[in-house]
Amino acid sequence: MEALKKYISLLDKQLEKKCCFNDILKKAEEKTKVKRIYLVIGTSLFLALYLMYGYAAELICNSIGFIYPAYASVKAIESKNKDDDTQWLIYWVVFAVFSCLEFFSDILLSWFPFYWLFKCVFLIWCFVPIQNNGAHLMYYKFIRPYILRHQDKVDKALSDATQHVSDFARRKAQEFGSDQFKGD
């Protein structure tokens, strides 16, 4: 119980810091007369229950993993700070790898109870604005070493594929162009 109080106190301090999310919470707190910590906890509990049992949990989960990170990415692009660009590029690499793995394991995951809740928690952990968030850990611990180990093979395969596509497109453009001037 003491640990829970500690985390609630820590969360409460975070919710008092100046940022756009906390500004929205401040307005909600003023209108509802409910402390923002309770608004966040209540909304989180409702969301968790909905992701466990609700309709369209997949849509809700994927929206959470996409909407805020997309918005934050646009803001990062527009800022002069390049560290936030790197942070969001890392998130999108992890998101893409996770999405690809999820596509191939979808049939198994559909049998996993509370999958959408766990996925949502994972995605939030990946984009939460702390120094060593989930995306940072997943990228530097797993993805980066794997890519660096296989980089030469991947670069060659991509180069070959690009060459094949270019050759195919060139041939088709020539065929299309010559067909247009035959005069039927």
Give the model confidence (pLDDT) of 23-58 as tens digits: 888 899 899 999 989 999 999 999 999 999 988 999
Residue 151: left if φ>0, alpha if ψ -120 to 50, beta else—which one? alpha
Give the model confidence (pLDDT) of 147-179 as tens digits: 999 999 999 999 999 999 999 989 988 887 766
Cα 171 from Cα 59, distance rounded (Å): 42
Instruction: Show Cβ contacts of residue 127 under 8 Å, excluding neighbours closer than 6 positions.
Output: 65, 68, 69, 72, 91, 133, 134, 135
pTM equals 0.79
Q: State the pLDDT at residue 180.
A: 61
Cα 28 from Cα 31, distance rounded (Å): 5
What's the mean pLDDT when you consider all of the chain?
Answer: 89
Q: State the pLDDT at residue 146.
A: 96
Q: State the pLDDT at residue 25.
A: 85
Q: State the pLDDT at residue 72.
A: 92
Q: State the pLDDT at residue 127.
A: 94
Per-domain residue ranges for the chain?
Answer: 1-53, 55-157
Give the model confidence (pLDDT) of 95-133 as tens digits: 999 999 999 888 888 788 899 999 999 999 999 988 889
Neighbour-count burial of 87, counting CB atoms closer than 10 A to its CB (0-12 exposed, 13-18 middle, 19+ buried): buried
Residue 182 has pLDDT above 70, yes or no: no
The more confident residue out of 28 and 92 is 92
Q: State the pLDDT at residue 34.
A: 93
